[in-house]
Amino acid sequence: MLIKKILIFFSSTILLSCVCSTEDYKDTQVDTIKITFDGAKKEYVGKYGLSIDITDKNVIDQIKILVNQSKSTSVFRSLRPVMHRTSVFFINNEENTKAFEINVNTENIVTIIIDDCYYVNEELYRYIAALIMLEEIKNYNGSMNQERYELEIIVPNNM
C-alpha cells in the first residue's frame, strides 16, 4: 500500500512538471519592472522589504528574453529553507503582475518560480542579482531597510 502511494506521488509530480511552461513574455507590454528583495537566513537576515524600479527599455527587454529561456526543473530542488527571495513584477499602466520569483536556499541552489512551476536559469539570476546589487546587500554590515538601501547601496553605485 505504501509503495502504491509513493508511486502515485511521484507520478503526479512528474505530470505536474510536464504541464509547466514559461509564458512567452516577448510581446508583453511592460512599462516598469519592480524588483523586491527579502533576506531570511545567514548574511541576509534583517535585510528585507528592499525594492527597486527599472524603467530602462533595454533592461526590461533583456529580462523578458532571459525569463523565456528558463528550463523546467523538479519541485524537490528547493526543499531547503530559503536564504533570500527576490520577486519580480511587470507593471503596465496600472496593472501590476507578479512575473516570477527567485528563491535561493541555504545550499545556494537557485530556483525560479513562475505560476507555481519551478525552473532553473542561472543567467537570469545573475542578471537580477546585478540589478539589485545583491553582493553589496550581502556585504552590508547589519540590517537594512529601504532608506538605507537607497542611500548606501543604490545612490553610491549609480554615480
For residue 45, the 8-state DSSP code is T
Ramachandran angles phi, psi of 114, nearest 5°: -125, 115
Which residues fall within 8 angstroms of residue 123, CB to CB, at 6 or more apart? Answer: 66, 69
- The closest of 71, 121, 115 to 97, measured between CA atoms, is 115
pTM: 0.83
- Does residue 149 sit in helix, strand or coil? helix
Take residue 27 and report the three cell numbers written for it. Answer: 510581446
Q: pLDDT tens track of the chain, all 159 residues?
A: 667 666 565 555 554 544 566 566 777 889 999 999 999 888 898 999 999 999 999 999 999 999 999 998 877 766 778 899 999 999 998 788 899 999 999 888 999 999 888 999 999 999 999 999 999 999 999 999 999 999 999 988 775
